Copies of this chain bind each other. A is one copy, B any other.
Amino acid sequence: MTHPRYTDLANALPSTVPFVGPETQERARGRSFDARLGANESGFGPSPAAIRAIGEAARGAWMYGDPEMHDLRRALANHLGVEPDAVIAGEGIDGLLGYIARLLVSPGDAVVTSDGAYPTFNFHVAGFGGVLHKVPYRDDAEDPEALVAKAAEVGAKMVYLANPDNPMGSFHGAERLAAMRAALPGGCLLVLDEAYVEFAPEDDLLPLDPSDEGVIRLRTFSKAYGLAGLRVGYAVGHPELIRAFDKIRNHFGLGRVAQAGALAALADTAHLARVQGEVEAARRRIAGIAEANGLLPLPSATNFVALDCGGGAVRAKALVAELGRRGVFVRMPFAAPQDRCIRISAAPEADLAVLERVLPQAIAAIG
């Protein structure tokens, strides 16, 4: 009688958490991980300037943040070489994906992604009643041609591509992306998730073009900028699409502290360059550890390396569990045949030394 009357859609949705956090695993095992290598966080940390800015903003945290995010949007626009009306920031790429799904997806609408691509995108599409159509990876990379073909076939309202890709680390250059864009069916939005873009070849990125209504680009302070715990993502697109976020977004959702931290992080280009260098070195180090243990490292344009464990999903899954038991938090792809791999985040040497010590033990344990 007093039971709330949920929408039909809400009744049909499961209560779920797209990712189990490492904290949940730590609570289950009764102690902390020794190396946190599973969420592609940046153990190299945020810019010291960002840390200072957050601490200073804390004193002024009694004030709401600017709902227009004026300074941050201008700084981002300046950084990207676009106009401020082509940029919006929000509660991480996750939050922005939710807003995009809400703007475009009605129950029954078709949306295309890759089998094994980012689950939180799927969570949001399903959350608005969209119907997901998936195409397989091809050669351990998302397959632009197949995505476009599927989008045309099902009349998709949007198609998702992460480039560089998570969880495999693969990357498509500007030419391939431009061809994908050109082949996109009319009225289908390309949602280009570039969470890892700072680790990709800078001279081979699809140029930003906010005059194009067919593409929205998503970037974040959670990876290269080391601010995952601050939750700041941003989108770059056509001003009309960017303005549409104002129809639905939580206008005060990105607080004063988050805006201040992101602004300072963006300005510290030296820190970013240092992290990029550290990540490159860490990828080589991870590859070396993998090879010393008979695992095959895949090429990566991100801050992680996928390692082919050589025994299919069963072996990879066992290895993830054994590493976890021994204090090393890692994750693995969801879909076959990528789930033959485990995924290791770039991290400082202290963490990778733990990996180097523990990996042979874990491999020995699974036999």
Binding site for B on A (CB under 8 A): 1-10, 13-19, 21, 23-24, 27, 36, 39, 41-46, 50-51, 54-55, 57-68, 70, 91-92, 94-95, 98, 102-106, 109, 120, 127, 157-158, 184, 186-187, 189, 212-214, 222, 226-231, 241, 243-244, 246-248, 250-258, 261
Bound-state Cα–Cα, A39 to B24, Å? 37
A–B pairs, 24, beta carbons within 8 Å: A1-B187, A2-B184, A2-B187, A2-B214, A4-B213, A10-B103, A10-B244, A17-B68, A23-B68, A24-B68, A24-B70, A43-B62, A44-B62, A45-B62, A50-B58, A62-B228, A64-B228, A91-B250, A92-B250, A95-B250, A127-B248, A230-B255, A231-B258, A257-B257
CB-defined contacts of A243 to chain B, threshold 8 Å: 15
Q: Please determine whether B229 and A8 come into contact, CB atoms closer than 8 angstroms.
A: no
Q: Once the chains bind, are B214 and A94 in contact (CB under 8 Å)? A: no
A46 CB contact (under 8 Å) in B61, B184, B227: B61
A30 CB to nearest chain B CB (Å): 14
Contact of A15 among B95, B212, B244 (CB under 8 A): B244
Instruction: Tell me the complex Cα distance, A224–B2, Å.
Output: 32
Q: Which residues from B are CB-within-8-Å of A5?
A: 104, 157, 187
When the two chains form the complex, which single residue of B17, B46, B64 contacts A39, counting CB atoms closer than 8 Å? B64
The answer to whether A6 and B103 touch (CB under 8 A), given A62-B45, A229-B61, A251-B19, is yes
A97 CB → nearest B CB, Å: 9
* Contact yes or no, A54 B63, CB < 8 A: no
Report the bound CA distance from A230 to B229 in whole Å. 12
Interface of A is mostly: loop
A14:B251 contact, CB within 8 angstroms: no
With the chains together, A336 CA to B144 CA distance in Å?
57
Q: Give Cα A36–Cα B66 distance, bound, in whole angstroms.
A: 13
Taking the closest CB of chain B, its distance from the CB of A94, in whole angstroms, is 5
Residue of B nearest to A128 (CB): B7
Question: Which residues of the other chain, B, contact A15 by a CB distance below 8 angstroms?
Answer: 243-244, 246-247
Q: Which B residues touch A44, using CB under 8 A?
A: 62
Asked if residues B51 and A54 are in contact (CB atoms below 8 Å), the reply is no
List, in ascending order, chain B residues with CB within 8 A of A64's CB.
21, 39, 41, 222, 228-229
The reply to whether B2 and A91 form a contact with Cβ atoms under 8 Å apart is no
Minimum CB–CB distance for A186 against chain B, Å: 4
Q: Please determine whether B63 and A257 come into contact, CB atoms closer than 8 angstroms.
A: no
**Known pairs A54-B55, A229-B256. 4 more at Cβ < 8 A?**
A2-B186, A43-B62, A46-B58, A91-B250
The CA of A2 and the CA of B211, in the complex, are separated in Å by 11
* Closest 7 A/B residue pairs (Cβ): A229-B256, A55-B55, A2-B214, A54-B58, A15-B246, A62-B226, A231-B255
